[in-house]
Amino acid sequence: MKKRYFGTDGIRGLVGEAPITPDFVLKLGWACGRVFSRNLADGQRCSVIIGKDTRVSGYMFESALEAGLVAAGVDVKLLGPMPTPAVALMTRSQNADAGIVISASHNPYYDNGIKFFSASGSKLPDEIELAIEAELEETLVCVPSDQIGKVLRLVDAAGRYIEFCKSTVPEGFSLRGMKIAVDCAHGATYSIAPSVLAELGAEVLPLGVTPDGFNINEKVGSTHMDTLAEVVRDRGCDLGIAYDGDGDRVLFVDDQGSQVDGDQLLFVIAMHRLRQGRSDAGVVGTQMSNLGLELALREEGLQLVRAKVGDRYVRELMERQGWHLGGESSGHIICSDVTTTGDGIVASLQVLHALGGGEHKLSDELMKVPLLPQTMINVRVPPGTAVEEQPAVAAAVEDTEAELGQNGRVLLRPSGTEPVVRVMVEGRDAEQVETLCQSLAQAVEGALAAA
């Protein structure tokens, strides 16, 4: 069955426009409560954790979710502003039946969304999302008054999460002597990430740590890294770290001010694990992972297998492979032997541990994983259009692949969040890649116009 509301990572959109409205979110809370309560034993009460990022609309949607859940007889524990992976952690540690995050990740403040975690702290499987959508079609009926849920605010959640993050590196690990610029995107990590790094001994230069409800991701964070790069260069930092609005992804800037993406960070962590003798046979990436990462891993005797784009699909493929490291070039990095989901702070500590707390320069490590030129063009398409099935498009893809040979690859991927198909070409020659991508995008546009 095709989902009506759920996308790649929960439900997301413009605040005030369906489905991101207070009435829908109230009904969504009720529907979730009904589904999460189904398999509980008689007399056992369902419990759900709710966290949010720093958007002004988070207060409104927190209240709406809370009302819907308690109307379904669910007890609620509120965390307030907390990183998405902290909600996953607290869901597990509080023995809750599910966790909910109110966030639109790296999007501007006027967007918002709802993400979900299972009791184990993992993203919901498709069948649960479909069950929630089915429940949304039913009439909302409040449970009897003696069964209405209760609400509790957890006041020590931030401290618990800080201690958890520090526990993911070996005891005695120190960042003393390192100067680190940290950009928290005015988002959910604004008070937590600087504390974690400072408590491990680093000199921290914080950026993006004054949220006002409207400035989340505004020219800061992992999607706007120029300021961070400038601070790293001007202040003589060892490196810079950038999180997104909800803290589930991370990117770096090296000591020279060059931006470092998730593919490169995966390689750094993988090589550290290989040196320590605790590496798996490979790493899970996505369809968008750079071919340079695949080639660099192959040189070290490791495989790269590709999942569909989306950290939930990376996690699922990691489980099937029996591997513990995976992620996306956008900075979603999962170390499943440490935690259950993509966690920006935990991933950044894994990178810092791989660098020996400053003994090795990040720029030196990156010389071992030269990324290939990659060009991507978004082509707008009518919803539901299977572009890759158009004969003219298939022929154009075949021609492009033939020209690239073994030195590149082609990908056509429908977006999970907007009506576009992403046309991507990568190879060893940047000029060739740019030309081929433009030509392929034009072929897609021409095929759509002729259809």
- Residues 270 and 264: their CA atoms lie apart, in Å, by 10
Residue 69 burial class via C-beta count within 10 angstroms: exposed 0-12, middle 13-18, buried 19 and up = buried
Q: Give the residue numbers annotated as catalytic, written as ranges.
A: 105
Task: Work out the angle between the directed axes of helices 391-404 and 430-450 (0-180°, nearest 10).
Answer: 170
Could you tell me the two tokens for 284? 């899970």
Residue 230 burial class via C-beta count within 10 angstroms: exposed 0-12, middle 13-18, buried 19 and up = middle
